[in-house]
A and B are shown apart, each in its own frame.
Chain A
Amino acid sequence: QKEVEQNSGPLSVPEGAIASLNCTYSDRGSQSFFWYRQYSGKSPELIMFIYSNGDKEDGRFTAQLNKASQYVSLLIRDSQPSDSATYLCAGGGSQGNLIFGKGTKLSVKP
């Protein structure tokens, strides 16, 4: 059974702090990894994707991938209350059939 594991949270951080979201996956064949953000009552929207080991930065967001440890993370710098949402980690092969984790609920306190 291919699985993606996330801590469901809630993860609470003060405004301006760094939020660290983590994810592990079981399928070593997974090639690409995605972080989606889902606001309450809304559909998931893509934040970042990463294919290669190491870090990938986009604005306040940094995705990290360690294929040897089967570990993916998302760092959010200078967290804002508008970042409060559920963050979904997903991994999958080139066929686009993504396996999702349950999501981590992030709360950024003003």
Chain B
Amino acid sequence: ETGVTQTPRHLVMGMTNKKSLKCEQHLGHNAMYWYKQSAKKPLELMFVYSLEERVENNSVPSRFSPECPNSSHLFLHLHTLQPEDSALYLCASSQNPGHGTGELFFGEGSRLTVL
């Protein structure tokens, strides 16, 4: 198993659909993140979970809803998205913020297209 796996790799959805992105990390880390990457913009931090508790959400619209059932799994539930939400969504993990290096390990990303 690779370190951080994301599914699906590609997703096309209409504005009225409900879908979910899934992330799983096999590195024994205890913090997981969702980032959004749009063309010509920096990586934007959306959500951080540390020890399975959400610690930051950076004022992300409520049409994005994260879920972290345990330290290895992270979901991003999507509903009534807008075309401008089309982007690459990257999941990442790190080891114990505050004691680790802060180094992030990224998954391959889920390319989302909203029609």
* Residues in A lying within 8 Å of B, measured CB to CB: 4, 8, 32, 34, 42-46, 49, 88, 90, 92-103
What chain B residues lie within 8 Å of A103 (beta carbons)? 42
CB proximity of B68 to chain A, nearest CB, Å = 15
CB proximity of B99 to chain A, nearest CB, Å = 8
Report B51-64 CB contacts with A as 1/0, cut-off 8 Å.
00001100000000
Is the pair B43, A100 in contact by a Cβ cutoff of 8 Å?
A: yes
A18-B97 Cα distance, complex, nearest whole Å: 34
A44-B106 Cα distance, complex, nearest whole Å: 6
Give the secondary structure class of B's interface: loop
Is the pair A43, B90 in contact by a Cβ cutoff of 8 Å?
A: yes
For the complex of A and B, list the 5 residue pairs with the smallest distance between their C-beta atoms, beginning with the closest: A96-B97, A100-B43, A96-B102, A43-B106, A95-B97
What chain B residues lie within 8 Å of A49 (beta carbons)? 101-103
What chain A residues lie within 8 Å of B105 (beta carbons)? 46
Residue B74, interface by CB 8 Å: no
A97-B104 Cα distance, complex, nearest whole Å: 9
Chain B contact residues (Cβ within 8 angstroms of A): what range? 20 to 34
Option from A4, A95, A100 in Cβ contact (under 8 Å) with B98:
A95
Is the pair A32, B107 in contact by a Cβ cutoff of 8 Å?
A: no
Is the pair B106, A34 in contact by a Cβ cutoff of 8 Å?
A: no
Is the pair B108, A92 in contact by a Cβ cutoff of 8 Å?
A: no
Q: Number of contacts between A and B (CB, 8 Å)? A: 62
Interface residues of B in 33-59 (CB under 8 A from A): 40-43, 45, 48, 50, 55-56
CB proximity of A21 to chain B, nearest CB, Å = 15
A23-B102 Cα distance, complex, nearest whole Å: 18
CB proximity of A11 to chain B, nearest CB, Å = 16
A103 to B, closest residue via Cβ: B42
Is the pair A96, B90 in contact by a Cβ cutoff of 8 Å?
A: no
A43-B109, A100-B42, A102-B41 known; A95 vs B102 contact (CB < 8 Å): yes
Is the pair B43, A88 in contact by a Cβ cutoff of 8 Å?
A: yes
Is the pair A45, B106 in contact by a Cβ cutoff of 8 Å?
A: yes
Report B89-100 CB contacts with A as 1/0, cut-off 8 Å.
010001001111
